Amino acid sequence: MKKITKNLLNFMSTRLGFVLTLLVLYWIKTMWAYTIDFNLDIQGFYQVFLAIINPFPISLLLLGLALYVKRTKLFYSLAFGIYLLLFAWLVSNSIYYREFSDFVTVNTMLASSSVSAGLGEAALELFRPWDILYLIDFPILAFLFFKKYIRMDDRPFNKRASFAVTSLSAMLFSANLFLAEIDRPELLSRGFSNYYVVRALGLPAFLGYSANQTYTANRERSKASEKDLEPVTEYIQSHYAEPNPEYYGIAKGRNVIYVHLESFQQFLIDYKLQADGKEYEVTPFLNSLYHSNSTLAFSNVFNQVKAGKTSDAETMIETGLFGLNQGSFMVNYGGTNTQQAAPFILSKNGGYTSAVFHGNTGSFWNRNTAYKQWGYNYFFDASYFTKQDDTNSFQYGLNDKIMLKDSIKYLEHLQQPFYAKYITVSNHYPYTTSLIGDEIGFPLAKTKDETINGYFATANYLDSSVKALFDYLKESGLYDNSIIVLYGDHFGISQTRNPNLAPLVGKTSETWSNYDNAMMQRVPYMVVVPGMDKGKIIDTYAGQVDMLPTLEHLLGIDSKNYLQVGQDMLSTQHQQITAFRSSNNFVTPKYTSFNGRTYYTQTGEEITNPDETIKKELDEIRNAANTQLKMSDAIQTGDLIRFYKGNDLGKVNPKDYSYLNSMKALLAIEKEKGDQSTSLYSKRGNVSTVDLFNSPSYRALHPEQFQTSSSDEDSSQENSSSSSSSSTANP
């Protein structure tokens, strides 16, 4: 043992040994932070492996720079200085995470005043007793040097060997990045979440990623000026669609409840899956809403998302502006750009309280900062709900029925009128992992693609989850004073899988075309207005960017003076030109242009040799669609709303919002308001409605299906037993 210790100390007394010692110490501290301080939602051996290796590449690269230095004292000073920087970056993130459930970005550091405002005098309270372990190596190293167990190495390190260390670190990072892309394709380009980057590549790499994001955003922002608003405001005014007087203000003053239907496509409405000689209605409850006299249901609303997927959809419904052509607006600009979004608009026009309920981590798609810029008062993420495990969740969060039930204890304390959004997750790719136990039972489709096969079962689960929410709203008394808006965020089955889906939707794989791909971009949009009897199915062609002005007009809020590029779908002036996020792709009642092909929308016939009249029409439509995208991009990337003075809304101050201890804040408001409190809890005489929420499992909802299966099994067992007895009696 003494010999091993002596050899180890001798190795640590070399320059390479000292660098590797610091590297191992940094790795140990990082593993401690990953385990104790951060919630990285690491699942499976592959992600564990990534987390174990990711501290090495960049830290070795940085620490290895000291090996190029010849002078002894300068070498040790530089190596230890780099180690201190790595240590400081790790610890600062650990402390910051305890307060904000996120990592320190370059934007955060540049806006240090807002960070200090967030932490304030309570910063010291964020330290934990175990933080001493982050410091324990410093006195140990000092002791070893003081007692000369470790000595300084006066020999310069070989330059070729130094370069080899640098090359090794670069190779390690390349391998790390390659493995990370396997686990999460487009990890850096789409920017799902800060914690995804940290989990896969480590904190030093995250700093570089954050710096690049900040540089890109600030470069575009710095180019913009107030003059850039002129063409934008001219476009907004000329593009404005006046409200339809038949519907304007019919929901004024009501609560607004948004239900985000994850990965839900329009073709699921009224769809019946054929399985084992029977028909299974996939979404019976949503179908009933779609055909209800209380529902304004739209049959030709198309998703307009791109790489930002769900975050793009949220951006559009909240702001009336598109997401980005590359990456996610919420990730790249959501925490910094001035926004005039639905929560803020409704707070200024009706005194609405706003909240989001979502069973995933708050940093996903940068929601915990973007929501503050949008003016959301409360954000109830996974930290507010039942602890996740293999029985109640999957990689994208808590299963919907559990999240919805857990949300009631917060929803009932919101001051009315409120604007609440539920983001569901269970109908999320890969559609094979979210359902377990008694929720299994809806038949799987039978195709070559397991993703398609499971899609209908998870959609059915989502349908029953939504029904449970509606049942609660009716039982609690919220239903009659609310409107419920349901929307699909993006496609669930990708274009590459559509040929395998074709036989299930009355098509053939051989004749499947880009026209069919375009039509599969349709998503549901339903506005349920309890008490209304003039609901109908509306065939207007529109997109998600049109949802906000439609909602505003239903609530009696004129969208004329807001920088929104969408149009009210109910307006007679709605142009019915729906731009997809990629330039030159669009759909109208007459023409569809998608992936370089053009079709007649009503028949699907491809236009291969258009005459001059058709060419002119297509050019005008293409120009209108591209102009809409151009104007939205100018607002979003230039942060032009910061210059806008065309309304009296003012600007959101993100410092006014905190998503910590939200329940405590809700109760404090109720107490302060006393008899004037408008929360459901107060209105019901301080009686909770949590027990009114019931969400039966699939097995409970369809007992006959399982009784039949059980009877078949019993019969099979009896026949087997009889056969066995017969065989025994008659050898």
Catalytic positions, please? 310
Q: What is the residue type of 330?
A: M
Residue 299 exposed, middle or buried by CB count within 10 Å (0-12, 13-18, 19+): middle
Query: CB–CB of 372/200 below 8 Å?
Result: no
What is the C-alpha separation between 326 and 230, in angstroms, rounded? 25
Query: CB–CB of 592/586 below 8 Å?
Result: yes
Residue 626 three-state SS: helix
Instruction: Provide the CA 329 distance to its chain's centre, in angstroms.
Output: 11
Residue with tokens 């409970």: 700
What is the C-alpha separation between 300 and 447, in angstroms, rounded? 27
| Residue-level length of the chain | 731
Residue with tokens 């009296």: 648
Alpha carbon of 494 to those of 236, 456, 588, 721: distances in Å?
33, 15, 22, 48
What is the C-alpha separation between 673 and 654, in angstroms, rounded? 24
Q: First CA to last CA across the chain, in angstroms?
A: 73
Residue 269 three-state SS: coil
> H/E element holding 155?
none
Query: CB–CB of 419/379 below 8 Å?
Result: no
DSSP H helices, 65-202, are 72-100, 106-110, 112-119, 132-135, 137-146, 159-183, 187-190, 194-201
Query: CB–CB of 564/543 below 8 Å?
Result: no
What is the C-alpha separation between 421 and 574, in angstroms, rounded? 26
Cis upstream peptide for 430 (omega within 30°): yes
Angle between helices 2-12 and 15-32 (to 10 degrees): 100
Q: Which residues partner with 631 through β-bridges?
A: none
Alpha carbon of 364 to those of 178, 181, 191, 359: distances in Å?
22, 17, 9, 11
